[in-house]
Amino acid sequence: MNNVRPESMARITTAELANAFIDEQVKEVREQVGDKKVLLALSGGVDSSVVAALLIKAIGKQLVCVHVNHGLMRKGESEAVIEVFRNQLDANLIYVDATDRFLGLLEGVSEPEKKRKIIGGEFIKVFDEEASKLEGISFLAQGTIYPDILESDGVKAHHNVGGLPEDMQFELVEPIKLLYKDEVRVVGKALGLPASMVDRQPFPGPGLGVRCLGAITRDRLHALREADAILREEFDLAGLNLKVWQYFIAVPDVKSVGVKNDKRYEGWPAIIRAVNTTDAMSATIEEIPYELLHKITARITAEVEGINRVLYDLTPKPVGTIEWE
C-alpha cells in the first residue's frame, strides 16, 4: 500500500464499509507480518487504540502493546487502556508507570518548550527501554492517519509525544494510514471499541503537562486532574461532549485569597477552556450555558482541594492558542 489515497476509495461512513475495510486490512497485515511480532506504543488515543484493536484481530498475541503512563494522563485514562485492552480484548499489554521519572525530570522546569522537550525525550527513552527488553520484534505499528501524511513527512512525530527512536530498525505496519479521522472512528466502533475511546476529544501528547502551567507540582497536577474530570463529567451529563470539539481545565501557578469554611483559603484558579474548530488552526469559543457554568464552579470549588476560583477563557484562536502552553 503506498501513501496516496486512491480516488476510487469510498469514504468509510457505515459499519458495513468499516467491516469490509477491517477484513481487507486483517488479510494484508497477516500477509505482511507472517508469524513475526509487532510492537505498538498504545497511548489510548483514538488512532493507536484503533490500530491496536485491528491488529489484535489480525494477529492476536503477536502484537505487543506498550502503554507508557507519563503521569500526565487525564483521570482514569491509563486504567481504561488496561481495562479495554488487557481485560476485554486479552491483548499482550505491557503497562509502564513512569510517573516518577517524568515528574522528577520536570521538577522546577517552568518554560513550556523545555517541558515539552523533556516529556517527548523521556517518552522515547522509556519506550526504547521497554522495546529493548523484548525479543524477536520485527515490526513497529503506528497509528498514522491520512492527515498526518498530508501534513508532514508521513511519520507521526511532529505532534506526537516522542516519535520514534532513530536507531530502531523496524519495518512499519500502518493499517489506517489512508483513513481520515471520522473514518478511524467508524472503524473503531465496528471493532467494538467503547464510544468513550473512539469519540475521544483530541488530547495533546504532553498531556496535562501543558495544562499544569509553569513548573509542575504534584498537588497542583492532582487538582487539575480532578477539576478536569468534573468538567468532563458535567459536559457528558449536558450532552456537550458530543457537540464541543475540545474542552479542558488549565491551572496556572498563581494563588489568590479566598474563604472556605469561614477561614482564609489560598488556592489556584481553574480555567475552563471549551473550543470549536474543524482543523485546530483557528477556533471559536463554545458558549457554555450560565447555569452549567455555575454548577461546574460550585462543584470544582467544593470538591477539589487547592482550587478556590473558576475562570472562563473567552479567547478565540487567534489570538489565543487552544492550549495555554
CB of 283: closest distance to ligand XMP in angstroms?
7
Q: Does 317 bind ligand XMP (CB under 6 A)?
A: yes
CB of 81: closest distance to ligand XMP in angstroms?
16
273 three-state secondary structure? strand
Residue the block writes with cell 464510544: 195
CB of 27: closest distance to ligand XMP in angstroms?
31
* Cα dihedral sign, 49-69-66-152: positive
DSSP string spanning 65-79? EEEEE-S-PPTTHHH
Quote the CA–CA distance of 176 and 191 in Å, as a whole number.
13
| Window contacting ligand XMP (CB under 6 A); options: 31-39, 104-112, 132-140, 315-323 | 315-323
Query: Is the CB of residue 176 less than 8 Å from the CB of residue 51?
Result: yes
Strands (E) in 84-160, as ranges, are 92-97, 137-141
CB of 203: closest distance to ligand XMP in angstroms?
7
Which position among 20, 280, 285, 293 is part of the footprint of ligand XMP (CB under 6 A)?
280
Which position among 205, 209, 267, 269 is part of the footprint of ligand XMP (CB under 6 A)?
205
How many other C-beta atoms are found inside a 10 Å radius of the C-beta of residue 203?
18
Q: 198 is written with which cell numbers?
A: 473512539
CB of 246: closest distance to ligand XMP in angstroms?
5
CB of 117: closest distance to ligand XMP in angstroms?
11
Residue type, 300: I
Which position among 112, 165, 202, 258 is part of the footprint of ligand XMP (CB under 6 A)?
202
How many other C-beta atoms are found inside a 10 Å radius of the C-beta of residue 244?
17
Phi, psi of 211 (to 5 degrees): -115, -15
CB of 63: closest distance to ligand XMP in angstroms?
23
Using the minimum distance from each CB to ligand XMP, give the nearer residue, 18 or 208.
208
Q: 210 is written with which cell numbers?
A: 501543558
Q: Does 322 bind ligand XMP (CB under 6 A)?
A: yes
Q: Does 267 bind ligand XMP (CB under 6 A)?
A: no
Residue the block writes with cell 517518552: 123
How many residues appear in the chain? 325
Q: Does 207 bind ligand XMP (CB under 6 A)?
A: no
Phi, psi of 95 (to 5 degrees): -105, 125
- Footprint (CB under 6 A) of ligand XMP, residues 13-52: none
- Footprint (CB under 6 A) of ligand XMP, residues 142-201: 159-160
Using the minimum distance from each CB to ligand XMP, give the nearer residue, 39 or 46.
46
CB of 124: closest distance to ligand XMP in angstroms?
14
Size of the site for ligand XMP (CB under 6 A): 12
Phi, psi of 112 (to 5 degrees): -55, -45
Using the minimum distance from each CB to ligand XMP, give the nearer residue, 58 or 274.
274
Site of interaction with ligand XMP (CB under 6 A): 159-160, 202, 204-206, 246, 280, 317, 321-323
